[in-house]
Chains A and B, each alone.
Chain A
Amino acid sequence: MDFLNALILLLNYIFIPALTYGSQLALGAIFVTLIYGILRFANFATGDMMSFGTMITILFTWYFQSLGISLGVFPTALLAIPFGIFFMILYMLSIDKFVFKYYRTNKSPPVQLAMVSIGVMFVTQAVVRIIIGPSDQRFFDGEKFIIKAREFKEMTGFNEGLALKSTQVITVLVTIVLVSLLFWFLNKTKTGKSMKAYSDNEDLALLSGIDPKKIVMITWIIAGILATIGGALYGLDKSFKPFTYFNNMLPIFAAAIVGGIGNPFGAFLGGYVIAFSEIFLTYAYKKFFMYILPESMEPESLVQLLSTDYKFAVSFSILVIVLLYRPSGIFKGKVL
């Protein structure tokens, strides 16, 4: 019984939150990795692009709510996401046309493109803050919990409750569907394969008649879908604040590099690696040990490896270690 209690404790406080957070990071990391693999630069505007897509989604959610449209137990935002994606793709394509295209055709070094993406970051940040403001926005509606901690206790008779938020389930399900679709697209369709070829060897791909314009456009479209959905899921699960999104860029980068930059599958797993290690290392295991150890051996301190203040530092340290010992990432990077 005590053992099961301990397991539920871990499930409730580590496994489920980490899985959700990891999915959100994974979507962002695939976005980073696609841009890096095909357009060949580190996109510093990642976090702010995600916040732009989320902002559009929020605006449409509010609009639908004012019209009285809702999805019942599901959050209205799910209905607004397609509109968010549409405007996000428009925004990305126009940025590409007016900003990035010039440097791509001039074959500028990647560092210069990264600098340009900093300019895009500033502009996007300004646009988001001017339109929706810098403060916290909550746009979740519908049923909040699938299982409430108290109900779970009453139902099963355990000491520990297990809470399951609907946003957590939605996040994980949407991620699974989206990522499997993406991998199917990249591995099985002709366009996906030509993207792979373009990423591996640009000149050879051009010689075999692959249209670079099309590849770039499809990359931005996929990136727009990933950025909007990833951002909206994060905002639904936690809350939307432009500054948090900017900060999320850092663990997302860490996830992409840990997984091997340029490798979407690596980025997908990298998201979970970062999320799980962040939560594993900063969780206080006192209660866990109280369940599984006999009373005489119960720990007095919190049994916390690192204080929660260092949550971000954990992922960055992992990244630094990976960069040092395996710069190509856990899964070999730079293959799409």
Chain B
Amino acid sequence: MRKNLNVIAAYSIMMALIILVGIFQSWNIALSIFNLCLISAVMTMGANIQWGYAGLINFGIMGYTALGGLAAVLISVDPVQEAWSAGGFDILMSLWLIIAMVLIIRFILKRFNKSKTRTYSIAVIIISGILLIRFSAEPGIEAIEAVNPAKTGFLGGFGLPIIFSWIVGAFFAGGLAFIIGKVALGLRADYLAIATLLISEIVIAIIKHEDWLTRGVKNVIGLKRPAPYEVDLQSTDWFINLVEKFNFGKLELISNLSDRQAELNQLVIEGSSIFVKLCYSGLFLTVVIILLILTQKALYSPWGRMMRAIRDNEEAANAMGKNVVKQHLLIFILGSAIVGIAGAMLVTQDGLFTPGSYRPMRYTFLIWVMVIVGGSGNNFGAILGGFAVWFLWIEAAPIALFLINFFTAGMSETHALKLHLIESVPYFRFLMMGLGLLLIMRYRPKGILPEKIEIK
């Protein structure tokens, strides 16, 4: 108990902060901060597995998040029959072509020894394959995008409950990580960082512009929910009764019957959105707890010890007979898959998929700030980092506004500098993130909750 005191203290402070937001701002805001904190925590756990356990630097988090989001769309949206009949055949043909291309390349790689001819012939196959696919898929893509472009214009998905997409998203992200890992894991740390950053940009470019698959920048809205809708809740009896019971004392004070009914309606509307958010919190919390148990088990297992050994001294671990390349690839896939889950969760919560919103600042660098600030290598630290940094990211604007008003209290309300500062309040969050990261890296380089290796 004693040695975990700092963990408990840090988490209690975090919870207290969120509760304070609930009391002073509103419970709605507090809960949405809490939900996004949970999603951030899942992302940081993924990044932490790669960076903290294995020392692999991955700046492609944005790409995996977006793929998880794509999974949510492909799983939950109902299939668009017209589009399938218009262009489905061409798309399936291209899919077969891609598979054939990959198989041929694999065959060549296995069959022939490394030589210039082999490299060139593979290049020729890839280029001609891409051209062939473009020509065969072009009419199909045009036909699909022409089907009711204002509403669909894409193939749709499988029409399954959106919850499944959390697993599928993990597989998508893991698949991408497998490809990237095969390609880039041999690179030195900083090259790997740049390569993953650029590859994630390519992934976003594809998601943004392949309208037949994702609707691109036209966005997919109104995704199915795992939680009930507010409108339905507001007309169900048990929910109204529940709200009435909760606010019995408050309602009792109002004697006028119609006033009382109006007040109750207001409370039901507020309560319904809080209830929906609570449903999400429950789901997300389950995921976080399951992942936490699994990652903790992994960290203290022989496998976790091996990963740390590889991280701390690759050559020594290699000499002890550990397959460094294979383990690196494995952990790269595992971490990315977890990020993929988070991406699907994020889209599930928002109920919409907006490819244009995936930006490296928010989805890659911010997550890295969370990992570094929280404490790399320590799962509790990573989760705490997710919570603390996201909380600051959201509450930075009110804090900055307060500080500006405090320091410019002497100035008149119309002073140009004051007005300019108040106008640029949203950008103070970048300043706080940057300063926070720099201070932590300088004075507490292991993070708020540093890595602790216990031998059990």
Contact = CB atoms under 8 A, between A and B. Distances in A.
Interface string A103-130: 0000001111011101111111111011
Contacts of B284: none
A295 interface: no
A41 interface: yes
B202 A313 contact: yes
Contacts of A102: 442
Given A127-B431, A129-B430, A324-B183, A118 B368 contact: yes
Given A118-B365, A129-B427, A313 B201 contact: yes
B208 A309 contact: yes
Contact of B187 (A110, A114, A253, A323): A323
B431 to A, nearest CB: 4
A175 B445 CA distance: 41
Interface residues on A, range: 35 or more
B198 A316 contact: yes
A159 to B, nearest CB: 30
A335 interface: no
Contacts, number: 117
Interface stretch (B152-160, B189-197, B220-228, B263-271): B189-197
Contact of B183 (A120, A130, A307, A320): A320
Contacts of B199: 316, 320
A21 B277 CA distance: 48
Contact of A253 (B119, B194, B428): B194
Contact of A316 (B183, B202, B423, B433): B202
Nearest to A309: B209
B201 A312 contact: yes
A317 interface: yes
B209 A310 contact: yes
A236 B423 CA distance: 26
A212 interface: no
A123 B57 contact: no
A118 B442 CA distance: 13
| Chain A residues touching B, majority SS | helix
Interface string A315-330: 0110110011101000
Given A129-B424, A130-B428, A122 B434 contact: yes
A313 B195 CA distance: 12
A106 to B, nearest CB: 10
Nearest to B442: A102
A114 B193 contact: yes
B434 A126 contact: yes
A257 interface: yes
A89 interface: no
B437 interface: yes
Nearest to B123: A321
A169 interface: no
Nearest to A118: B365
Contacts of A324: 183
B453 interface: no
A123 B438 contact: yes
A254 B441 contact: no
A269 B428 CA distance: 38
A250 B197 contact: yes
Contacts of B433: 122
Contacts of A122: 365, 369, 430-431, 433-434, 437
Contacts of B365: 118, 121-122
A119 B438 contact: yes
Contacts of A275: none
A112 B441 contact: yes
Contacts of A41: 190
A250 B201 CA distance: 9
19 contacts: A102-B442, A109-B189, A110-B190, A111-B193, A115-B437, A122-B365, A122-B430, A125-B434, A250-B198, A253-B194, A253-B198, A254-B198, A312-B205, A313-B201, A313-B206, A319-B195, A320-B195, A323-B184, A327-B191
Given A122-B437, A126-B430, 13 more contacts: A111-B57, A115-B368, A116-B441, A118-B437, A126-B434, A133-B423, A133-B424, A134-B427, A253-B198, A309-B208, A312-B201, A313-B206, A323-B191
